Amino acid sequence: MGIPVITLDGPSASGKGTVAGLVAAKLGFHYLDSGALYRLMALYATRHGIAFDNEARLALAAVRLPVVFQAGQVLLEGEDVTDAIRSEAMGLGASSVAVLPALRSALLQRQRDFRAAPGLVTDGRDMGSVVFPDATLKIYLTASAEERARRRHKQLIDKGEAASIRQIQQDIEARDARDAARTVAPLKAEADAHILDTTSLSIQAAVDQVLSWFSAKNP
């Protein structure tokens, strides 16, 4: 299509959203948080009494999902749900609904529609493998489960929420296993993806590395 795309795939709490957003801002590109779509589906299902395994109803709802991304906010049915979709419950819910093939199919074109000039940076779990297989630059961004749990625990504490770091790590490891084992678009590093382990990296160092790789492809 001639419009560059940078994909950052990886497990939960690896920092890919933060890095992707900063890279997009630096390059002046559009940004898509694909995980937000699945969190939105989990929230929508919860509010409308739809079971997380009701594939037909969730797929139908996904096509018509009344969501708007604007100025750093996520609006669902006209309500700001930016913080609501970031709860641990919605994260687990997102992982549950993401295994449904019909739902993933319904959201596929919605995600591809975010590709627009001058370029797009997107993060998720199947951005480079399924949604944008022709991406200019593919990155698999990861970190140890212990470090990811520590980061998530700090986020929750900073928000004033009670949290058990041990429970968070158990949830992260369970989600990793579920995401990697699903039959549709499992979480994995593509053969043509750069591996970026952020366990011991600062956010700025990770951003700089992504920009360096992109610059090498676009001299």
Amino acid (one-letter) located at 177 = A
Q: Which of 11, 9, 8 is nearest to 177 (CA)?
A: 11
Position 1 confidence tier, pLDDT thresholds 50, 70, 90 = low
Q: Which of 100, 110, 123, 8 is nearest to 45 (CA)?
A: 100
**What string of DSSP letters covers 69-101?**
EETTEEEETTEE-TTGGGSHHHHHHHHHHTT-H
pLDDT tens per residue, range 198-211: 999 999 999 999 99
Structure tokens at 85: 């979709």
CB 11 within 8 A of CB 71: no
Find the range with the poorest average confidence among 4-8, 92-96, 156-160, 179-183.
179-183
Cα–Cα dist 211/27, whole Å: 9
pLDDT of 173 reads: 92
pLDDT tens per residue, range 61-77: 998 888 887 767 888 99
Q: To the nearest whole percent, how much of the chain has pLDDT over 70?
A: 99
pLDDT tens per residue, range 20-56: 999 999 999 999 888 889 999 999 999 999 999 999 9
3-state secondary structure of 200: coil
The answer to whether residue 152 scores a pLDDT higher than 70 is yes
| Mean pLDDT, all residues of the chain | 91
Dihedral sign, Cα of residue 197, residue 203, residue 205, residue 208: positive
pTM of the shown model: 0.83
